[in-house]
Structure 1
Amino acid sequence: MRALGVLDGLLQSQRGDLFPWVPVLFGIGIGLFFSLKFEPEPAHYLWGAGIACVALALLWRGDRQDTVVFLGWTVLLIALGFAAAGMRAHAVGAPVLQHRSYGAVEGRVIAIDRSARDRLRITLDQLFLDRIAPDQTPARVRLSLPEGARVPRIGDRVMTTAHLMPPQGPVEPHGFDFRRHAWFQQLGAVGYTRVPVLIINRSPHDLPVEQLRQRLSTGIRSQMPVATGGFASAITTGDRSAIPQVALEALRASNLAHLLAISGLHMGLLAGVVFGGLRLLLALAPAAAQRVDTKKLAAVGALLAASAYLLLSGMQVASTRAYIMVAMMLGAVLLDRRALSLRAVALAAMVILVLRPESLLSPGFQMSFAATTALIVVFGGLRDRLTPTGPRWLRMAAGVVLSSLIAGVATAPFGAAHFNMISHYGLLANVLAVPVMGALVVPAAVLSLCLAPVGASWVGLALMDLGIGWILFVANWVAALDGAQGAVPMPPALVLPLVALGGLLLGLWRGRLRLLGVPVLLGAALIWHGSPRPDVLVAPNGGIVGVLTAEGRALSRAKGHGYAAERWAENDGSLRTQAEGAQLWQLVAGPEAPGKSVTAYLAATDQRLIHVIGKAAAEALTVCAADEVVISAKSVAPVGGCLVFDADALHRLGSVQMDAAGRWISVRDVVGARLWSHGPVRSRSDQWQ
């Protein structure tokens, strides 16, 4: 009872400030669902419904005791988050290709983007696949196009021949799971084509919003240079397919890539420009200004503009969050109320998590809400404690510097964890580029849209070109500075939840207990710093092996299987290329095996690792020793009691790793058997079958 009294006192101290914790509890339920290694059965959801009923009973009976009410809401929100994630996972379920395939592909183009290797890609739905039964045909496939290929339009029905494969799992057991990402996109196969794409039908009325986005994007690029045109189409329509890879890499290295994402900066600036412009125009007509409330009329116009911008942007996580917050602020203007910013952030998070629970795991969701929450908390605290002094231009400059610093600090752990990179001069780049984005680029985009009906959009586009040209100049200059980027290793899974908890305590809790966030953050940093990387990594197909040395990760091949090699280097926090990693192989090389195999000595376990390369070498390997580990992209069956990871084993287990203690861990050990990994496994008992 004493503990309940203490908790009741804490809750009393937070009265009126607990709503921002609602999406946090809901998100905990979502996180619990994704952390499972088996697919919940219907009985598990019944248990969840029972728990929710208990929570409702606590709410019913706890009308006079805040502690009981709080516990009831806590249990209920966690249960609802778990259920929402489960319902979403089953609702988006669609067939996944079970094997590699080559043949005719026919479908409707619904998206066009660009891969990390600077290849144009198209996403197709309404599919027909050669030699694939209709009930086994994926809902969507994504194809990379050959260099110089004719790019179809959104809504076109196309046909080609392509190599297809199922979405691949992580390149290491604790790495990014592309299969899970593809599952929630209903992407049942990925691949490439080496032949032209034939357009067999065009429907001008199919996917009207997407077609409008493409027409706007094409029109903008046709009137601007390549680099600035691709940037302009990205911030107006969300189409990044025309941004040169060199420019994109410079923006990432200088920490300016966030300017490409249609987020709070763009949505807020657009709404602000439209709101201010409408009020100014209405003020020029005194007769109208005396009869109507120009402030509310301008708010309606700004809300309509923001709504149109959301549709054109593709309704991504950042743009949806920004739209909800802008809509709440404009709604407060219409109702003569004051918008509560942290509550607006919490409401935006709840809407996104209810509609797309899987977004909780995405870097876009985490970084967007981390930056927004930190900015609101810090500037809210400064507003209550400091009185603005000095010239207006100096206060504006200080605001830009401070906001860039706050957003950079808040998003740095998430960016480093997901992308393994830190931009050392990001603050400098943002101070030089963000004011130009707000003062020139976004107003010019609005001006271009307003002048388009009279054929004078080129005026706004010319101004956009000047502003974007400056931003790209800053990005290239900062990216070229010595030490512009630093690499960091991938953290353990526990780190980001601890970072989020520490940040939430510091930002949302009132009173001295908020300082508990500091040791939580320090603990996350210590865990991250002290986490070792695997001694051995094996690619999912067995095509390449990486062995950790004092100089870095030694790779068994200098060419081929570059995706796995690149991801391993990123996760190791290394900037070495695959060729440089292959040169390190001599540091671990053991006695050469016959054929095209390469060997390595594993000091941790006193074993000899044999990587069998090629079909001939696999056929020649018939005998092995008990102290050997055989890895092969082909099926092998050597006699002698060695540990074998061949094509059959890796197809079942996924990529594998060996830790410093000599334990072998597979993707299946970490991920388990979920809907997106090995089909709809229904119970814990059959998850390893």
Structure 2
Amino acid sequence: MRQRAEAQADGGAGPLAGPIPGAGPIPGAWQSGPGGLLLRQRGHLFPWAPVALACGIGLYFSLRVEPAGQVVLGVALLALLLAVLAFRLPPAVSPLIWGLALAAAGLVLAAARAQTTAAPVLGWRYYGAVEGRVIGIDRSASDALRLTLDRVRLDDVPPDRTPARVRISLHGEQGFIDPAPGMTVITTAHLSPPGGPVEPGGFDFQRHSWFHRLGGIGYTRTPLLELLPPRPGATPVFTLRMALSDRIRAVLPGDTGAFATAVMTGDRSALTEEITQALRRTNLAHLLAISGLHMGLVAGFVFAALRLAGAAIPHVALNWPVRSIAAPAALTAAAGYLALSGGSIATERAFVMAAVALLALVADRRAISLRALAIAALVVLVLRPEALLSPGFQMSFAATTALVAVFAALRGQGRGWPKLVTGTLTVVLTSTVAGLATAPVGAAHFNMVSHYGLIANLAAVPLMGLFVMPAGVVALLFMPLGLEPLALIVMGWGLDWILLVARTVEAWPGAVGQVPAPGPWVLPLFAAGGLLVALWQGRGRVAGVVPVLAAAWLWTQAERPQVLIEDAGQIVGILGPEGRALSRPRGAGFVAGVWLENDGSALDQEKAAALWPAARPDGTIAPPDRGAVPLRHLTGKRAAAAAGCAPGEVLVLTHDPPRPLPCEVFAPKRLRTTGAVALRFGPEGMDVTTARALTGRRLWNDAGVRTDRLWRAAGP
């Protein structure tokens, strides 16, 4: 009985946790076959609830056409009917019905979220005055200061066509003002709509921007001017974050201070690209994200400090519920840290986990369990369904699920061992399990494998818990008294060590390996296999190895496109035996970099351009194994006007030709409708795949969408 009670406490009750109220006795026919499998999982099915919800969310984002409002309403009614039906069916079947109901609910949630975040998107390139209020400060990939503005005004653009937010990188001489939170600024800038995938099947920045209500991106070389000073109380959290960042950097200058502000306030505006790359290449970039490690350390430090303080006073220890007092105080500190950090996906997950753990301590229940993790996943997915597609969500939950499952399986092991041994083994096991769980996700998204990441984490992570985060909490407590330098100096020692580890490990030979981008089914198969191993109870979990092996095999069989064409015709890449040859050594650098990363290539753009041969007098180049199909890339208006070609050729132009040509032409007018293009050559001829064909017609790629055109079926 006790074992059953503990299993129910760990698995939890809920729609997937059976038994079902009012279901009556279980017929014998349900106790065999597939129904019997679910019956034997009773008490452990609740962690599958977010998995079912995620399946519906994933289905919504995989659609090629935006579902009409009537369709979404029908799916919502279906979810409700399935939930009612699940209550009346035997426990051997009802979990499957609950899973279908949650999947339908996930689709509805994602569709509703896409509609409620709707805002106008630029449908053209804009150059002119841009006015707006500063609500975000960070750095671009080129290390330029970047501002996010709301309350945007554009010259000669009506309000219903003006983006809710724009993002501008500051280039050139920018010494007139120091942008501050809430400041209304004005400048002259180039803006364009958020771009689609740089290759078919690639990361969809248009979708990402849609859920951030970002309707235009661009840059300015004109000095920024202050139009109105910040209004008191207009952006309180952002203002507080930047004020704390300034005080931290006043004590800890340089890279140490930039690292400290990223850890404590989520402000990365002072973090250089060199440091970011060093941390990423040594698998230490997770220390920049305010996630479970940071949230757990903050909440744990406050909880432990209050409990120790209470235990030190005999009257308090004997008469007061110290644990019940310390837990809400730690939760309050965690909530403040969540608000201060900007509320990223990883931080939201960590906060919910911390809240469940602290409340469980008060209730004398198990603090860390798969049930708590499932609750965190449900909260994040309900609030932000689009988070499912982000690397942060995937890596955060992959690591946490693996750690909870492994330590639950090892519970009770190592009793009687010396504390030094158990502590060392715990650190090693934690880093190993988290690294293995997140490795496929990180490699798939960033095309990078850190060969010495485990060593770097073993050398750096303990310092994060012993010095950095405790000192950071003390520094925040000391700030009202002006005594924060005492704690920040100690924090700086820990951060200096972590930076030293990152720079040292990065310089080791072979520290980083490149891997090609996987196919679309690789990560879902990895996730399915990993979840089956972690969540399924009994010997059946071994079956999870099959989809993992299938995913690994599919990854090894992934073929990169032979030819890639940028969505404006500015650059072309042809895959050859030595890597991808690029048609230009400069220009379209972001696109070129992504192509090379997805190839798993270590070349930069200039070296890749050196592979572009002048094999023919007319400047054409032939894709490998298909010498009969020459390809030419011509830039400029004059080249387009004088262009000629023969049937069977491929011609890429940066300007539209004045007359029809007999060959396959990719020019701006065509590319505006197709997006980026991938070409593959085989025995049956040339296969053309376009980015638009894979993304379909969705809210986020319907340029210039207006809020009065929502909840409609997307037309052809």
> 2:496 is matched with which residue: 461, 464, 469?
469
1:83 alignment partner, one of 87, 96, 108: 108
Q: 1:148 deviation in Å? A: 5.8
Look up the match of 2:365.
337
Deviation digits for residues 101-160 of structure 1, max 9, x if unmatched?
110011100011111111110000001011211110000000001256343111111111
2:200 paired residue number: 173
Match of 1:22 among 38, 46, 49: 49
Aligned twin of 2:588: 561
Q: Are 2:601 and 1:574 equivalent residues in the alignment?
A: yes
Letter in 2 for 1:417: A
Residue 334 of structure 1: how far off its partner (Å): 2.3
Is 1:115 the counterpart of 2:143 in the alignment?
no
The question of whether the paired residues in 2 share the 8 Å contact of 1:534 and 1:657 is answered with yes
Q: Counterpart of 1:264?
A: 292
**Residue 453 of structure 1 pairs with residue 475 of structure 2:** no
Other-structure match for 2:695: 671
* Residue 125 (structure 1) aligned with residue 146 (structure 2): no
Contact 2:585/2:606 (8 A) holds in 1: yes
Task: State the SS of the aligned residue for 1:339.
Answer: coil
**Cα distance per residue 1:355-380 (max 9 Å; x no partner):** 10000000000000000000011111
Write the distance in 1 (CA, Å) between the matches of 2:660 and 2:280.
Answer: 51
Q: Write the distance in 2 (CA, Å) between the matches of 1:247 and 1:380.
A: 36
How many Å separate the matches in 2 of 1:466 and 1:344?
A: 34
Which residue in 2 is equivalent to 1:657? 678
Residue type at the aligned position of 1:176: F
Which stretch shows the higher mean deviation, 283-292 or 92-101? Answer: 283-292
2:257 — aligned with what? 229
1:532 aligns with 2:543: no
1:676 Cα shift? 0.7
For residues 117 and 2 of structure 1, the distance between their equivalents in structure 2, rounded to whole angstroms, comes to 65
* Distance across 1 between alignment mates of 2:199 and 2:476: 47
Among 624, 627, 630, which residue is 2:651 paired with? 630
Match of 1:607 among 616, 629, 636: 629
Q: What do the CA deviations read for 1:537-575 (whole angstroms, capped 9, x no partner)?
A: 001111000011111101111111111110000000001
Q: Structure 1 residues 130, 380: closer, same or farther in 2, change over 3 A?
A: same
What does 1:153-164 align with in structure 2 at a 5 Å threshold? 153-164=180-191
CA gap of 1:463–1:632, structure 2 versus 1, over 3 A, is: same
What is the distance in 1 between the residues matched to 2:625 and 2:322? 76
Asked if 1 retains the 8 angstrom alpha-carbon contact of 2:302 and 2:330, the reply is yes
Deviation, 1:637, is 4.5
> Which residue of structure 1 lines up, in the alignment, with residue 342 of structure 2?
314
Once residues 67 and 647 of structure 2 are traced to their aligned partners in structure 1, the CA distance between those partners, rounded to angstroms, is: 39
- The 1:683/1:236 distance shift into structure 2, 3 A limit, reads closer
CA distance in structure 1 between the aligned counterparts of 2:510 and 2:322, rounded to whole angstroms: 52
Q: Is the 8 A contact 1:389 1:395 kept in 2?
A: no
2:231 corresponds to 1:206: no
- Which of 40, 65, 71 is 1:44 aligned to? 71
Deviations 1:608-631 (A, max 9, x none): 21211111101111x321111111
CA pair 335-540 structure 1, distance change in 2 beyond 3 A: same
Asked if residue 393 in structure 1 is aligned to residue 414 in structure 2, the reply is no
- Per the normalisation by structure 2, the TM-score is 0.92
**Cα 1:642–1:407 shift into 2, 3 Å:** same
2:330 is aligned with 1:302: yes
Deviation at 1:398, TM superposition (A): 1.4
Measured after TM superposition, the shift of residue 524 of structure 1 is 0.3
1:649 counterpart letter in structure 2: R
| In 2, Cα distance between equivalents of 1:2 and 1:279 | 54
The residue aligned with 1:616 is: 638
Going from structure 1 to structure 2, the CA distance change for 1:405 and 1:147 (only over 3 Å counts) comes to: farther
Q: For residue 504 of structure 1, what is the amino acid of its counterpart? A: L
**What residue is the counterpart of 2:352 in the other structure?**
324
Residue in structure 1 matched with residue 388 of structure 2 by the alignment: 360
Q: Deviations over 1:515-540 (max 9, x none)?
A: 11111100000101101100000011
Q: How many residues align?
A: 679
Per the normalisation by structure 1, the TM-score is 0.96
1:94 match: 119
Contact 1:40/1:682 (CA < 8 Å) preserved in 2? no
Matches within 5 A, 1:477-516: 477-516=504-543
CA apart distance, 1:601: 4.9
Q: 2:379 aligns with which of 337, 351, 364?
A: 351
CA contact 2:186–2:226 (8 Å) conserved in 1: yes
Report the more deviating stretch, 129-138 or 146-155. 146-155
- The answer (yes or no) to whether the contact 1:624–1:639 under 8 Å persists in 2 is no
CA drift at 1:4: 8.6
**Alignment check: 8 A CA contact 2:568 2:672 kept:** yes
Q: Could you say which residue in structure 2 is the equivalent of 1:244?
A: 272
- TM-aligned CA distance change 1:319 to 1:624, over 3 Å: same
Contact 1:110 1:123 in 2 (8 A): yes
Q: Secondary structure at the match of 2:531?
A: helix
Residue 70 of structure 1, CA deviation: 1.6
Aligned-residue offset at 1:605: 7.2
Q: Distance in 2 between the 1:455 and 1:147 partners?
A: 37
2:407 aligned residue: 379
| Partner Cα separation in structure 1 for residue 555 and residue 506 of structure 2 | 26
1:494 Cα deviation after fit: 0.6
Mapped partners of 1:5, 1:70: distance in 2: 16
Secondary structure in structure 1 of the residue aligned to 2:42: coil
Partner of 1:421: 448
What is the identity, as a one-letter code, of the residue corresponding to 2:312?
L
Residue by residue over 1:311-352, the C-alpha shift from the partner in whole angstroms, topping out at 9 and shown as x without a partner, is: 001111111111111111111222233335111110100001
Kindly report the root-mean-square deviation, in angstroms, between the aligned alpha carbons of the 2 structures. 1.8
User: Could you tell me which amino acid in structure 2 is paired with residue 650 of structure 1?
Assistant: L
Structure-1 separation of matches of 2:457 and 2:714: 52
Asked if the contact 1:144/1:193 (under 8 Å) is kept, the reply is: yes
SS at match of 1:659: strand
Q: What is the aligned partner in structure 1 of residue 61 from structure 2?
A: 34
Alignment counterpart, residue 86 of structure 2, candidates 46, 56, 59: 59
CA distance in 2, matches of 1:683, 1:233: 42
Structure 1 distance, partners of 2:546, 2:331, is 42
1:602–1:198 Cα change, 3 Å: same
The structural deviation recorded for 1:428 is: 0.2
Moved more, 177-186 or 298-307: 298-307
Counterpart AA for 2:606 = A
**Is 1:219 matched up with 2:241?**
no
Structure 1: any 5+ residue segments left out of the alignment?
none
How far the C-alpha of 1:51 sits from its partner, in A, is: 2.6
Q: Which whole-Å CA distance do the structure 2 matches of 1:303 and 1:50 have between them?
A: 37
Counterpart code for 1:607: V
Comparing 140-149 with 566-575, greater Cα deviation is found at 140-149
2:173–2:223 contact (8 Å) kept in structure 1? no
SS in structure 1 of the partner of residue 199 of structure 2? coil
What's the CA shift for 1:49? 3.1
For 1:675, give the aligned amino acid: L
Residue 284 of structure 1, aligned match among 312, 315, 328 = 312
For residues 55 and 178 of structure 1, the distance between their equivalents in structure 2, rounded to whole angstroms, comes to 35
Secondary structure of residue in 1 paired with 2:376 = helix
